Amino acid sequence: MLRDYPRGVFLVALVEFWERFSYWGLLALLTLYLSSPLAAGGFGWEVGAAIKLYGLYGGLAFAGPVLGGWIAASFWGERRCISVGGALIVAGHACLAGTGCIPWLGQHFTGVDYQSLWVSAGVPLGSLLPSADELRALRGAAESMHASASTVNWVYLGIAWSFAVGLLLIIAGTALLKPTISSIVGRFYSPGDRRRDDAFAMFFVAIYLGCTAGVLIAGFLGERVSWHWGFGSAGIGMAGGLAIYRCKQHELLGTLGLQPERTAVWQALRGLNRCERDRMKVLLCQGAFTVMYAATFYQVGGSLLLFSQQSVDRGIGAWQIPVSWMSVLPTVAFIAITPLGVRLWGALARRGRDPDATVKLAWGLLVIGAAYLLMGLVAPAADDTARISWWWMLAAFVLFGAADMLVWPNQISLASKLAPASLSALLVGGWYITIGIGTSLTGYIGAWAQVCGFRRFLLTLGVCVSILGCVAWLVTPRLRRLMHATPEQDLPSSALIERAA
């Protein structure tokens, strides 16, 4: 039941809901926005460059929490990091929305239609240091529309720098907020308390609901109303969640996370005993597998989003499903499948056969590999203009949701349990860096689809990930021994969202 959770869990879950709303709303729009033509209000980038920036942004947003965890542990404490991180995310979305406000203000004061000017110049937006040819083209377009060349240059640079600063602020805010808010959840319970997994399950409900709402609302506003309305909506939600957190934190969190551990990281690492060092090895090994899982899963906002745009019939009668909405299907599948998984894990736990997180990660790799093989088998050939039914994508993304249910909640809970108490925030942040590395690879892996064609890309990736899943399964006995688990310490995540459901 929901009343079994401490009220503070709901507070931090609310903040995490809006942080995920922000992140996934932007992720659903970023590739589409960058690759959309200038006439459609986009940046007019080549597809390969758009996917690479998507991967770089996602990678930094996930890798940054290792720095945020260190700042929390050594200087600020979790609570201050949450407040500062949330404020930076709000400011970042304001800057992204500013890419639409700047040309609007320019048009208001000068009467120049800047979108028509960009189309006339044929120069993609977003270059922080325009080349001589780009500046010449902008100058020529300005002269043809009787506009001031210097004003046009300032508006162009204002858009580029507003966009870049916005992304950097969101990355910095996520770095501070993401690991510390996860660490706060673990602080509600003492070591060995089996309710810890239940709390993380509740936390993950908020994460996935935030992902879903972000894609549906920000994605729809961005595609069907204006890109900048999509960017701005995420910032408004984050501002509201942060305001509630600031008002209620002392009442519901007490002194949790107020003071940093002020642990000397290298001294703490040198002071680890054999059991703790072995558990660190487990986390490193699981992190290596998680890198490839993230590199395949987060194609949903890059190459798979473009595949849905180019090769998938998204029609339902006369209505077309927004492209950005396709990226939320794995999240919806996760929410639907997880209660079934909960019951399965619970039944296995009662028989003493609940698989641990290492086994579930191996299964997750195999399941997502099967999803890619399914998409590859039905995908049209490179020279075929036919489109597949969106039902095939739904089937594949249901498998994505099942893989997510196997991987993410169990891995973050494992990191929280195996990390030494003095390094909890830092190592939870370190767990996120594995996702960051994997996400940064999505851009380079996804860009390959533009060279070899989607069919070959999907089949190759499916085979490679399936082989990796087999390897992960084979090494699980060794990892289990390195965990040195006692009955009180070995806490398989068998109660995911059972009480919330």
Token pair recorded at residue 44? 């007019």
Q: Where are the beta strands (DSSP E) in 314-464?
A: 315-316, 319-320, 388-389
Tokens 């095939």 correspond to 392
The predicted-structure confidence for 143-202, as pLDDT tens digits, reads as follows: 999 899 999 999 999 999 999 999 999 999 998 998 788 778 877 777 666 667 667 767
Task: Specify the pTM.
Answer: 0.80
Q: 454-474 and 357-378 are packed helices; what angle lies between their axes, rounded to 10 degrees?
A: 160
DSSP H/E element including 469: helix 454-474
Count the residues in the chain: 501
Question: How many CB atoms sit inside 10 A of residue 242's CB?
Answer: 22
Token pair recorded at residue 329? 């299907």
Question: How many CB atoms sit inside 10 A of residue 347's CB?
Answer: 12
Q: Which residues contact 174 (CB under 8 A, 6 or more apart)?
A: 19, 23, 61, 62, 64, 65, 68, 85, 89
Backbone φ, ψ for residue 12 (5° rounding): -70, -30
In a 10 Å sphere around its CB, with 0-12 CB exposed, 13-18 middle and 19+ buried, how is residue 444 labelled?
Answer: middle
**pLDDT given for residue 156 in this prediction:** 95
> Rounded to the nearest 5 degrees, what angle is found at the Cα of 478, between the Cα atoms of 472 and 481?
135
Decide: helix, strand or coil at residue 131.
coil
Q: CA–CA separation, 94 vs 148, rounded Å?
A: 27
Token pair recorded at residue 310? 């180019």
Among residues 326, 323, 25, 329, which one has the least CA distance to residue 170? 25
Query: What is the Cα Rg of the chain in Å?
Result: 23
Q: CA–CA separation, 198 vs 428, rounded Å?
A: 18
Helix (H), strand (E), coil (C) string for 259-294: CCCCCCHHHHHHCCCHHHHHHHHHHHHHHHHHHHHH
Token pair recorded at residue 102? 């700047």
Could you say which residues of the chain have pLDDT below 50? 1, 486-501
CA 466 distance to own-chain centroid: 23
**pLDDT given for residue 221 in this prediction:** 92
Among residues 35, 15, 17, 134, which one has the least CA distance to residue 84? 15
Q: CA–CA separation, 162 vs 106, rounded Å?
A: 14
The predicted-structure confidence for 297-342, as pLDDT tens digits, reads as follows: 999 888 898 899 889 999 998 888 999 899 889 988 988 887 788 7
- Write down all domains in the chain, each with its CATH number in brackets: 11-482 (1.20.1250.20)
**pLDDT given for residue 395 in this prediction:** 94
